Amino acid sequence: IYDSFRGRLDVEHNTIALSGLDSIKDKLMAARRIIIVACGTSWHAGLLAEYIIEELCRVNVEVEYASEFRYRNPIITSEDVIIAISQSGETADTLVALENAKKQGATIFGLVNVVGSSIARISDAGAYTHAGPEIGVASTKAFTAQLAVLQLFALKLAKLKNTISEDRYVHLLHELNAVPEKVQWILENELENIKAIAIKYRDANDFLYLGRGYNFPIALEGALKLKEISYIHAEGYPAAEMKHGPIALVDSTLPVVFIATKDSYHEKIVSNMQEIKARKGRLIAVASAGDTITLELAEDTMIVPAADEIIAPLLSVIPMQLLAYYIGIERDLDVDKPRNLAKSVTV
Ligand code: F1P
């Protein structure tokens, strides 16, 4: 059963409609673990889903690159539920990984954009993201739609498993409901600023993207978008891993983008920013509105409205996508058709 919508949120009655989840409810409630299988940008959505589902639902989640999962010999049982994430619904690595998992009895929940695609057809249940056709090859609005559905999925499952308090559940539903107007705020207020930052750094040879917790997958996605659209080498890293190697890269020529929205990791991320500043790295930050500490520390800042830390990645990824977009434009590249990339990777 595929939900004919991407899932619906009713804040008046504090309910979430996600019929694909309902149809495999018993399997999910009994699942020993959830395995998330995806590639590229969709994998980053899956990594964030791992953090959120484990936090809210207290169930073991693993995230696998389909391109590895399909070739190795993973242990899969009929007690596993697989969430397959794919914009195109045709990615060969993901499809073959699912065929293998299905033979071993796993239940598959598909999250795809293209209605009737191969991954939708092989799934036992699922939801469509309905993000519309991507005009460009690089996945952007598909990513935010995937995150929104995965957040609904986690909240609904947490409610069913009784692993979330009523207050937190209601709070998160309202936070999710407020996302569209907060995205609108970014688009109305930050475009010129992000464009100016793009002009300033367009000639850099390398970028580093850092984040902790829920913002770590956004650091990975920020780096991937820059690579895909502007052909600048970029690496995404957990900010706390810096000291284990990458800090050797930092000098006065390296732009370092911190996803530093206010969350329970904020104090730690501030000290990571200070470490970069002490080594003369060019500090660029995505910060929550009103965060004067980050504003003072960073050389350049992109502001997003404040939000609960579980919901905030839906906002902090927007400046990352826009920064990559404007740098690509400034470098005179075709941002809709990056070289060497295909919309559907079917081999
Ligand atoms: C996965 C993906 C995209 C990326 C590029 C190549 O596709 O890696 O994330 O932007 O287009 O394919 P999908 O399985 O989400 O369709």
Instruction: Give me ligand 1 centre to Cα 70, in Å.
Output: 16
CA 183 to chain centre: 15
Q: Which residue has the CA at smallest separation from atom 14 of ligand 1?
A: 86
> Which pLDDT does position 84 carry in this prediction?
98
Phi first, then psi, for residue 286 (nearest 5°) are -95, 120
- The confidence score (pLDDT) of residue 5 equals 55
Q: What is the pLDDT along the chain (347 residues), one digit of tens a residue?
A: 555 556 788 888 999 989 999 999 999 999 999 999 999 999 999 999 999 999 999 999 999 999 999 999 999 999 999 999 999 999 999 999 999 999 999 999 999 998 899 999 999 999 999 888 777 778 899 999 999 999 999 999 999 999 999 999 999 999 999 999 999 999 999 999 999 999 999 999 999 999 999 999 999 999 999 999 999 999 999 999 999 998 999 999 999 999 999 999 999 999 999 999 999 999 999 999 999 999 999 999 999 999 999 999 999 999 999 999 999 999 999 888 888 777 777 77
Q: Does the Cβ of 86 fall within 6 Å of ligand 1?
A: yes
Eight-state DSSP code of residue 132: -
- Check if 94 has its Cβ closer than 6 Å to any atom of ligand 1: yes
Q: What is the DSSP letter of 289?
A: T
H helix runs in the chain, sequence order: 19-23, 25-30, 40-57, 66-69, 92-103, 118-122, 141-161, 166-177, 179-189, 191-201, 216-230, 266-278, 292-297, 313-330
Give yes or no for a contact between 119 and 90, defined as CB atoms under 8 angstroms apart.
yes
Domain 188-330 listed as CATH 3.40.50.10480: no
36 C-alpha to ligand 1 centroid (Å): 15
Tokens of 219: 């650091």
Structural domain spans, the chain: 2-177, 188-330
Q: What is the pLDDT of residue 193?
A: 98
Give the type of residue at 64.
E
Residue 152 contacts by C-beta under 8 Å, 6 or more apart in sequence?
6, 7, 9, 16, 18, 176
Identity of the amino acid at 280: K
CA of 277 to the centre of ligand 1 (A): 34
Query: Which CATH number applies to 2-177?
Result: 3.40.50.10490
Two structure tokens written together for 286: 């995505």
- pLDDT at res. 135: 73
Asked if the domains at 2-177 and 188-330 fall in one CATH topology, the answer is: yes
What's the pLDDT score for residue 203?
96
Query: What is the ipTM for the molecules in this complex?
Result: 0.94
Indicate which atom in ligand 1 lies nearest the CA of residue 91. 14
